[in-house]
């Protein structure tokens, strides 16, 4: 893997995205270690540019990342804007391109055109295959919180950014007797979901691999709220089907799909085709009995400061390793990228 000369932090262009993978305090540590950090201006980032300037970073206009030096690592969260269709640098972000997602081939073709490399944050793993950085905890927390508020009839659209004390204050309302099921309960997202349910005073049933190997569909449908927090890497038994949605005696009324693998072959909830968003966070899938769906693909953005601080803290040692060639985890990322390119070429 080539030596890097610096890190270029892009602004995010996706709607309602105030998160950042690198907060000013951690950027200051990189600068102190001799890393050149360039930060694009952003009107939406939860941390203003002046905080990065005080940390010793160079601040530049937004969407100027194509001007980064050839060996710079361009860092972000979502796919870069189309200011340059071809991607010629090493880019670090969540690509969502390796599991059959709809936009995957187009993104990979951008890298092919520019001879760049994607180091996908979703595939930044240790020697045992476990992810070393993720927003999962806060995704699960927010996903479960929204499900509880929807079940209580208290979810108000459009959604806006919050702090954790504000969200917890809304959760600590009167108990309504709801029972929740968290699938993928032992992972980061599952842990966050269970914590939010505990704050809300909602009893939670915890399922993980053992409980879903032979799915008890009747038990699943006998809960009021379902939180899907499973990180699936291969196809498997759906947790809900069209027949379950239409079942007359179903108790289940709210589904929060934290995973949002809707366009992937690994999707465990093939009961809908499009995610929801901040403007319309809930979609009614069935009227009698009612079944509401929450499937927002940037849940941690509702708590942008908390989720960014936690993520950046986990990413900092990995960025340090990337800058100093101690990059085994990044080598694995690069291997996944080249494998995806080969698979795309072979499937033509």
Tens digit of pLDDT for each residue in 65-123?
999 999 999 999 999 986 668 999 999 999 988 877 878 889 999 999 999 999 999 99
**Class for the domain spanning 6-123+304-346:** alpha beta
Would you state the pLDDT for residue 231? 84
Contact present, 234 and 264 (Cβ < 8 Å): no
* Per-residue pLDDT at 170: 95
Three-class secondary structure of residue 37 per DSSP: strand
Q: Is 348 a known active-site residue?
A: no
| Straight-line distance from the first to the last Cα atom of the chain, in angstroms, rounded to the nearest whole number | 28
* pLDDT at residue 95, rounded to an integer: 93
Residue ranges covered by each domain of the chain:
6-123+304-346, 136-302
Q: With contact defined as beta carbons under 8 Å apart, do 49 and 59 qualify?
A: yes
CATH of domain 136-302: 3.40.50.720
Residue 72 is given by DSSP the state: P
Does residue 78 have an active-site annotation?
yes
Alpha helices in 133-187 (DSSP H): 136-151, 164-171
Mean pLDDT of 168-189: 92
Hey, do 6-123+304-346 and 136-302 end up sharing a CATH topology, with the first three levels equal?
Answer: yes
Name the pTM for this structure: 0.88
Res 286 pLDDT > 80: yes
Banded model confidence at residue 265, pLDDT cuts 50, 70, 90: confident
The chain-wide mean pLDDT, for the chain, equals 93
Q: Which among 286, 231, 222 is positioned nearest to 257, based on CA atoms?
A: 231
The one catalytic residue among 96, 99, 223, 336: 96
* The pLDDT of residue 224 is above 80: yes
Q: Kindly indicate the confidence band of residue 7, based on its pLDDT and cuts at 50, 70 and 90.
A: very high
pLDDT at 235 over 70: yes
Taking residues 256-280, what's their average pLDDT? 93
């Amino acid at each position: 893997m080539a030596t890097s000369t610096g890190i270029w932090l892009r602004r995010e262009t996706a709607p309602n995205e105030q998160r950042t993978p690198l907060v000013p305090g951690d950027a200051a540590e990189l600068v102190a270690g001799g890393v050149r950090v360039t930060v694009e201006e952003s009107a939406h980032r939860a941390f203003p540019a002046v905080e990065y300037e005080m940390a010793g970073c160079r601040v530049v206009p937004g969407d100027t990342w194509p001007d980064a030096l050839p060996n710079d690592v361009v860092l972000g969260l979502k796919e870069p804007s189309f200011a340059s269709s071809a991607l010629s640098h090493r880019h670090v972000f969540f690509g969502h391109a390796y599991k059959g997602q709809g936009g995957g081939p187009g993104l990979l073709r951008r890298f092919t055109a520019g001879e760049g490399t994607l180091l996908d944050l979703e595939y930044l793993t240790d020697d045992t295959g476990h992810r070393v950085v993720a927003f999962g905890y806060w995704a699960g927390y927010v996903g479960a919180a929204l499900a509880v508020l929807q079940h209580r009839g208290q979810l108000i659209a459009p959604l806006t950014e919050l702090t954790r004390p504000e969200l917890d204050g809304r959760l600590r309302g009167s108990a309504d007797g709801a029972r929740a099921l968290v699938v993928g309960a032992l992972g980061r997202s599952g842990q966050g979901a269970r914590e939010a349910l505990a704050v809300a005073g909602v009893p939670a049933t915890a399922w993980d691999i053992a409980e879903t190997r032979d799915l008890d569909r009747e038990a699943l449908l006998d809960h009021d709220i379902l939180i899907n927090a499973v990180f699936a890497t291969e196809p498997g038994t759906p947790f809900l089907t069209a027949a379950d949605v239409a079942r007359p005696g179903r108790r289940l009324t709210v589904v929060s799909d934290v995973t949002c693998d809707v366009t992937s072959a690994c999707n465990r909830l093939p009961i809908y085709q499009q995610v929801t968003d901040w403007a319309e966070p809930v979609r009614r899938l069935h009227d009698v009995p009612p079944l509401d769906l929450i499937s927002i693909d940037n849940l941690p953005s509702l708590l942008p400061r908390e989720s960014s601080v936690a993520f950046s803290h986990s990413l900092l040692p990995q960025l340090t390793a990337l800058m100093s060639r101690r990059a085994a985890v990044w080598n694995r990322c690069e291997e996944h990228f080249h494998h995806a390119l080969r698979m795309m070429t072979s499937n033509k």
